[in-house]
């Protein structure tokens, strides 16, 4: 059982303080006032372990790659590799730090109070400062005309009724052996202020995640899913900002994408939930974050007592917003059409806490970095429906990628 030490008012997270640590995971929980960080690994496994009450025995952090679908759905990508991250990996950290409304809380293992105190001082007192970063040269794996051809083929499947929606993703790559992931994540976080951001290191692999989307969160047996489909930028002009939010909530294509993701998640949750407990608490609600308006729906359910939170993750994975509808048919088409294996992109990173709470995001707006080779990967995607224009979908992928690329080297 860990001791919880209240540290009082603390500064916000400084990524550079983690240089030298081989394993860590930082996650924001909706905004900059709430976050959690796990550092070091006392043990690890491919799945979290839960007791009969559905709680982990200790804080557990980690990830599941999109390609876990191969185990869950019997589907296999024709492309090799997983981008260097294991299909799924969960670790119990040595140190856990929480930020909550400006206060800090350090969760310490018995007998480790001294070293934990040293760690906390280093974490909270590290100097803030970033060196200039060069702009990288990014190459898109899927060329423009090939994208249009593939999108056209997918839309013919939609017109035939094989599927109703599919999330089509493309990858950009770059190389920079001198890339500094610590400074780069600080820039990314500062530029995007992403509500569900994450900074993850597993040995020589890094994920710099500026995610605006939550996958699942838990409070005991109550689970909440929040599929996101639909985005508009914020404006400094209050009137224009209101109009952008109104435009988003009334956009027929954005609403149809969101509602289809809701239907898929409702179906997924019904497999592990108590009868009649799956509810749509919010449908196509506009949530306004510092940089963007998002169209988000909220589905809640009560998990059956014979199911653990990770059973819920497996039942809903991969998330509906990154696949399509029907989910299995969409994933089969994705495997056929996309030019890369997704790996950690459109998977999830997050944590489970011993008090029965948990928070898992959707890995989008994310740079994946291999410190051994210097290779970087940035994938973006959009939903194809019967109403879409493939040229506009290509532009949407470009805009999403550019928002991350520009943040890395302003």
Taken as a whole, the chain contains a residue count of: 410
3-state DSSP assignment of residue 234: coil
Catalytic residue among 165, 213, 226, 302: 213
Outline where DSSP puts E strands in 323-404. 324-325, 348-352, 357-361, 366-370, 375-384
Could you tell me the two tokens for 236?
């400094």
Please, what sign has the CA dihedral across residues 155, 156, 159, 165?
Answer: negative
327 is catalytic: no
Residue from 229, 302, 338, 400 carrying the catalytic annotation: 229
Question: Where do the H-state alpha helices sit in 84-234?
Answer: 113-125, 144-160, 181-192
Q: How many angstroms from the chain centroid is the CA of residue 374?
A: 23
By the 8 A CB rule, do 27 and 357 touch?
A: no
169/76 Cα distance (integer angstroms):
17
The tokens 């820039």 sit on which residue? Answer: 187
The helix (run of H) or strand (run of E) holding residue 297 is strand 292-302
C-alpha to C-alpha distance for 20 and 25, rounded to whole angstroms: 14
Give yes or no: 398 in active site.
no
CA atoms of 399 and 369, how far apart (whole Å) = 21
Q: Are 319 and 361 in contact (CB under 8 A)?
A: no
Q: Which of 205, 203, 201, 269 is nearest to 62 (CA)?
A: 201
Cα four-point dihedral sign 84, 217, 252, 192: negative
Helices (H), 161-228: 181-192
Catalytic residue list: 213, 229
């Amino acid at each position: 059982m860990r001791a919880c030490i209240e540290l009082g008012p603390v500064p916000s997270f400084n990524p550079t303080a983690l240089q030298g640590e081989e394993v860590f995971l930082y996650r924001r929980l909706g905004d900059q006032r709430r976050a959690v960080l796990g550092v070091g690994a006392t043990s690890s496994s491919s799945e979290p372990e839960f007791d009969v009450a559905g709680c982990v025995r200790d804080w557990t952090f980690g990830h599941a790659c999109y390609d876990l679908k191969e185990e869950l759905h019997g589907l296999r990508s024709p492309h090799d590799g997983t981008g260097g991250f294991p299909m799924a990996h969960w670790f119990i950290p040595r140190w856990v730090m929480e930020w909550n409304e400006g206060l800090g809380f350090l969760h310490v293992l018995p007998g480790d109070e001294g070293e934990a105190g040293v760690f906390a001082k280093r974490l909270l007192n590290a100097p803030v400062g970033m060196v200039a970063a060069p702009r990288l040269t990014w190459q898109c794996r899927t060329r423009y005309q090939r994208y249009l051809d593939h999108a056209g083929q997918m839309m013919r499947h939609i017109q035939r009724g094989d599927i109703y929606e599919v999330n089509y993703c493309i990858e950009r790559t770059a190389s920079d052996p001198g890339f500094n992931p610590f400074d780069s994540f600080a820039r990314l976080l500062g530029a995007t202020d992403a509500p569900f951001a994450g900074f993850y290191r597993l040995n020589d692999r890094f994920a710099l995640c500026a995610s605006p989307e939550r996958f699942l969160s838990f409070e005991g047996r109550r689970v909440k899913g929040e599929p996101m489909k639909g985005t508009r930028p914020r404006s400094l002009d209050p009137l224009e900002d209101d109009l952008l939010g109104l435009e988003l909530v009334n956009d027929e294509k954005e609403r149809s994408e969101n509602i289809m993701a809701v239907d898929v998640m409702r179906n997924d949750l019904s497999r592990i939930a108590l009868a009649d407990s799956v509810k749509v608490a919010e449908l196509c609600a506009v949530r306004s974050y510092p940089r963007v308006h998002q169209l988000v729906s909220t589905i809640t359910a009560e998990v059956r007592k014979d199911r653990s939170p990770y059973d819920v993750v497996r039942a809903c994975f991969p998330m509906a917003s990154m696949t399509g509808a029907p989910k299995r048919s969409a994933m089969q088409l994705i495997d056929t059409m996309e030019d890369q294996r997704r790996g950690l992109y459109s998977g999830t990173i997050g944590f489970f806490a011993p008090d029965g709470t948990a928070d898992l995001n959707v890995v989008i707006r994310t740079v994946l970095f291999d410190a051994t080779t210097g290779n970087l990967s940035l994938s973006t995607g959009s939903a194809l429906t019967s109403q879409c224009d493939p040229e506009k979908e290509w532009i949407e992928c470009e805009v999403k990628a550019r928002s991350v690329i520009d943040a890395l080297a302003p």
